Structure 1
Amino acid sequence: MSAIEQTAAPVAPAERDSPLIVRFEHVTHWYGNVVAVNDISLELGPGVTGLLGPNGAGKSTILHLLSGFLSPSRGSVTIDGVSPWRHPDVFRTVGLVPERDSVYAFLTAREFVTASAKLHRLPDPKAAAERALDLVEIEQAADRPIQTYSKGMRQRAKVAAALVHDPKVLLLDEPFNGMDPRQRLHMMDLLRGLGGQGRTILFSSHILEEVEKLADTVQVVVAGRLAASGDYRTIRRLMTNRPHVFVLRSTDDRALAGVLIASGAVQGVSLTAGGLEVHASDHGTFTRELAKVTRAAGIGLREVVPSDESLESVFAYLVGS
Structure 2
Amino acid sequence: MSVLELHQVSRWYGNVVAVNGISMTVGPGVTGLLGPNGAGKSTVIHMMGGFLAPSSGGVTLDGARIWKNPDVYRHIGLVPERESAYDFLTGWQFTLAMAKLHKLPQPGAAAQRALALVEMEPAKDRVIGTYSKGMKQRIKMASALVHDPPVLLLDEPFNGMDPRQRLQLMDLIRRMAAEGRTVLFSSHILEEVERLASHIEVMVAGRHAASGDFRAIRRLMTDRPHVFIVRSADDRRLASAIIADGSARSVQLSEGGLRVEAVDFRRFTWLLPQLAHKENVRLWEVSPADESLESVFSYLVAS
From 149, 152, 159, the equivalent of 2:134 is 152
- Contact 2:8/2:23, CA 8 A, preserved across alignment: yes
CA distance in 1, matches of 2:110, 2:272: 59
Q: Is the CA contact 2:198–2:215 (under 8 Å) kept in the aligned structure 1? A: no
2:200 counterpart residue number: 218
Within 5 A, what are the aligned runs for 1:127-166?
Answer: 127-166=109-148
Determine the C-alpha separation between the residues in 2 that align with 1:220 and 1:27.
Answer: 15
Q: CA deviation at 1:264?
A: 3.9
Q: Give the alignment of 1:196-235 within 5 angstroms.
A: 196-235=178-217
Within 5 Å, which residues of 2 pair with 1:271-286?
Answer: 271-286=253-268
Q: 2-side partners of 1:32 and 1:194: how far apart?
A: 38
Partner of 1:316: 298
Structure 2 counterpart of 1:176: 158
Give the stretch that moved more between structures: 80-89 or 262-271: 262-271
1:1-321 equivalent positions in 2, closer than 5 A: 19-321=1-303
Give 1:263 deviation, angstroms: 2.4
Distance 1:262 1:285 in 2: 15
Once the two structures are TM-superposed, the CA of residue 289 in structure 1 deviates from its matched residue by 1.2
Deviation for aligned residue 1:135? 0.3
Cα deviation, residue 273, structure 1: 2.6
1:88 offset after TM fit, Å?
A: 0.4
How far does residue 313 in structure 1 lie from its aligned partner after superposition?
Answer: 0.3
User: Over residues 174-200 of structure 1, what are the superposed CA-to-partner deviations in whole Å (9 max), with x where a residue is unaligned?
Assistant: 000011111101101101110111111
- Matched AA of 2:80: P
Unaligned runs of 5+ in 2: none
SS at match of 1:70: coil
With structure 2 as the length reference, what TM-score do the two structures score? 0.99
When the two chains are superposed, the root-mean-square deviation of aligned CA atoms in Å is: 0.8
How many matched pairs?
A: 303
Counterpart Cα distance in 1 of 2:245 and 2:82: 49
Local SS of the residue matching 2:65: coil
| 1:136-179 residue CA offsets vs partner (Å, 9 max, x unmatched) | 01101111111111100110000000000000111010000011
Q: State the alpha-carbon separation in 1 of the partners of residues 231 and 7 from structure 2.
A: 50
Tell me how far apart the structure 2 counterparts of residues 248 and 265 of structure 1 sit (CA, whole Å): 14
CA distance in 2, matches of 1:182, 1:111: 25
SS at match of 1:261: helix
Conservation of the 8 A alpha-carbon contact between 2:22 and 2:208: yes
1: CA distance, partners of 2:116 / 2:280: 62
| Counterpart amino acid of residue 17 in structure 2 | V
Paired letter, 1:52? L
TM-score (normalised: structure 1):
0.93
Unaligned runs of 5+ in 1: 1-18
1:196-227 residue CA offsets vs partner (Å, 9 max, x unmatched): 11111010000010001001210000011110
| Per-residue deviation, 1:319 | 0.2
CA distance in 1, matches of 2:148, 2:244: 60
Letter in 2 for 1:162: A
